[in-house]
Structure 1
Amino acid sequence: MDKRKLTASIIMAGAIILLLVITLWPQEEEPATGFTAHKVIAHAMGGINNHTYTNTLDAFVANYEQGTRVFETDLLLTTDDKLVARHEWTGNMSRLLGQLDVLPAARQGAVLSHKEVMDSPILTLYSPLDIDKIMELMAAYPDAYIVTDTKELDPQLVTRQFEHIVEAAKRKDPALLSRIVPQIYSRDMLDVVNKVYAFPETIFTLYQSHDTDEQVIAFARETGVEITMPVTRATKSFVHKLKQAGARVYVHTVNEEDEITKLSRMGVDGFYTDFASEEDLGRMRGVR
């Protein structure tokens, strides 16, 4: 081989090696902004005094004061078509919320009216929330974000719920819409929500979904949604592929330090939790 051919071969080999390094070298993630800059999402407004699922003003304030800035809240329609913060309409939930002596027996497992919800203290001293009071909190705490848990799949009900959310935000301050993160339960639901309002960020939760990993990965790549899933579905391979597709990955609901650390090392970005705060995660070894 003459000298020119040898030089050309060396240059070509070097170019191939450089291309491989660029392709295979782990890429730095884009810096997180907005709600994704936080690792903690307070489940049902976060726990308070060892109680969960309260969705109360008091839980919001208590967890905010511990450094939490992202709050998931359950939202249900009342009998009179108002949107309130409640996890479910069951007798067991009335019991968990300490309302067995507050509500008549016949109403303890029933869908309640707006007045019944708002006039029924939770655990005797905590204040229930409706969508207007949630918007008041967001206005008062301008770095807080709300992740919705509306639960419904029927397009008409989904539309009505998000009409309530958008209308309440616009009544208080339209800028609040930039800090509301819809949680969707199916790929189709994204279009339903977007027809009401195109929120800047969305989370696709997988606990009701029968989609394959490949379908979820493709959807995340195509739409830019973030992903949350039960701990049982979080595998290293799935998490890695979702992150390669550009999604941030969350799991729910996690309270134990060992589990949070294990999932963080797997590549999980954030956690729905009742009791862990951003400060707690900051001191945990191994949490990135």
Structure 2
Amino acid sequence: MNKRKLIPSMIMVSALVMLLIIWLGTNKEENSGTDFPNYRIVAHAMGSINDLTYTNAFEAFVANYEQGTRIFETDLLLTEDGKLVARHEWTTQMSEMLGQTKTLPASKQGTILSYDEFMDTPIQGIYSPLDWEKILDLLQHYPDAYIVTDTKEFDSGRMMKEFQILTESAERRDPALLERIIPQIYNRSMLEQINRIYPFPHVIYTLYESQDSDEQVVEFVKESGVDITMPVSRATSNSSKLLSVRVRGFMLIP
């Protein structure tokens, strides 16, 4: 299974000190049923807690919400038995970073955990792992919070299974929850795949792995109305055509 690795992701977080969202054409704030564009801070992996990052933990969400954050990016992976959980990657390095090496058997470090193994292994011995159902609990309890998805599967079938699970789970609870879920896509074709499952009102096309030219990106946004994230280096390039349109700036915090 191909996954985004931790070190490149940490570089990406540093590069995306500013999360640039590009608006093309019509003012989305007038057409959208949400106030998502009004916020400026995005908490990466539910935000840091006690200087710990990448936890995707319940307590991290609550701590950052209480500090005023309303948009939370969360990493999503499938467990060995097909359940959707908030985890950045299944690596030994991640287990070490989350302080789980003394709790997990050596044979389970660097492997895909089962749902029970994942949920029964606290982060740093004290913080609570989140599955998708508990994330929906948070959305219901905090009605002004938003979730930006970072699905960590490269395989198209597994990625779409994640979106199928998260969509069906939200619809069973309350279809209105889907208005506060913002998928990230990693290539243009992914938008059509997601739209077959549900037409999310906000979708973010993240460019840090994209080979698309500026011209391709601009045309895609004009046609689809998606928003864009990109590294600062691309936004500030002298040759970039992406800043010829109106920009709204967001800060991505760890």
**Which secondary structure does the structure 2 equivalent of 1:73 belong to?**
strand
CA distance in 2, matches of 1:80, 1:242: 45
Question: Residue 221 of structure 2 corresponds to which residue in structure 1?
Answer: 220
Contact 2:214 2:242 in 1 (8 A): no
Deviates more, 1:229-238 or 1:79-88: 229-238
* Correspondence for 1:101: 102
Please state how far the C-alpha of 1:151 moved relative to its aligned partner.
2.6
Distance in 1 of aligned mates of 2:245 and 2:188? 15
Shift of 1:112: 0.7
Residue 269 of structure 1 aligns to a residue in which SS?
strand
Q: Answer yes or no: is the 8 Å Cα contact 1:149–1:182 preserved in 2.
A: yes
Aligned to 2:131: 130
1:52-201 superposed matches below 5 A? 52-201=53-202
Mark the runs of 5 or more structure 2 residues left unpaired by the alignment: 1-25
The whole-number CA distance in structure 2 between the counterparts of 1:65 and 1:238 is: 38
- CA distance, structure 2, for counterparts of residue 227 and residue 95 of structure 1: 33
SS at match of 2:95: helix
Query: What amino acid maps onto 1:213 in structure 2?
Result: D
What is the letter of the counterpart of residue 243 of structure 2? H
Task: Report the Cα distance in structure 1 between the residues aligned to 2:44 and 2:245, rounded to whole angstroms.
Answer: 23
Give, in whole Å, the separation in 1 of the partners of 2:250 and 2:63. 20
2:178 aligns to what SS in structure 1?
helix
How far the C-alpha of 1:85 sits from its partner, in A, is 0.0
Separation in structure 2 between the aligned mates of residue 242 and residue 111 of structure 1, nearest angstrom: 42
| Paired position in structure 1 for 2:230 | 229
Q: Which amino acid aligns with 1:240?
A: L
Q: Return the TM-score normalized by structure 1.
A: 0.74
Q: Which has the higher helix share?
A: 1
Identity %: 56
Task: List aligned pairs for 1:23-42, cutoff 5 A.
Answer: 30=27, 32=29, 34-42=35-43
Q: Distance in 1 between matches of 2:97 and 2:156?
A: 30
Q: How far did residue 175 of structure 1 move? A: 0.9
The 2-side partners of 1:232 and 1:273 are apart by: 18
Residue 221 of structure 2 is aligned to residue 241 of structure 1: no
Which letter does structure 2 place at the counterpart of 1:116? E
| Closer/same/farther in 2, CA of residues 268 and 233 from structure 1, 3 Å limit | farther
**1:175 corresponds to which letter in structure 2?**
A
Give the length in aligned residue pairs: 225
- TM-aligned CA distance change 1:184 to 1:119, over 3 Å: same
- Residues 89 and 152, structure 2, Cα contact 8 Å, conserved in 1: no
State the secondary structure of the residue aligned to 1:64.
Answer: helix
Aligned residue identity for 1:106: S
Amino acid at match of 2:145: A
1:55·1:74 contact (CA, 8 Å) conserved in 2? Answer: yes
Structure 2 residue aligned with 1:207 = 208
Q: Tell me by how many angstroms 1:78 deviates.
A: 0.6
AA aligned opposite 2:51? N
| Conserved 8 A contact 2:43-2:73 | yes
Structure 1, gaps ≥5 residues long: 1-28, 244-266, 275-288
Q: SS of 2:230's equivalent? A: strand
1:272 aligns with 2:242: no
User: Match for 1:73: what amino acid?
Assistant: T
The answer to whether the 8 A contact 2:46-2:72 is kept is yes
Q: CA deviation at 1:34?
A: 2.0
RMSD: 1.9
Preserved CA contact (<8 Å) 1:147 1:183: yes
Q: Could you tell me how far apart the structure 1 residues matched to 2:252 and 2:223 are?
A: 25
- Comparing 113-122 with 224-233, greater Cα deviation is found at 224-233
Say which SS state the counterpart of residue 142 (structure 1) adopts. coil
How far apart are 1:233 and its partner, in Å?
Answer: 1.9
Taking the aligned partners of 1:206 and 1:224, their CA distance within structure 2 comes to 15
Question: What secondary structure does 1:190 align onto?
Answer: helix
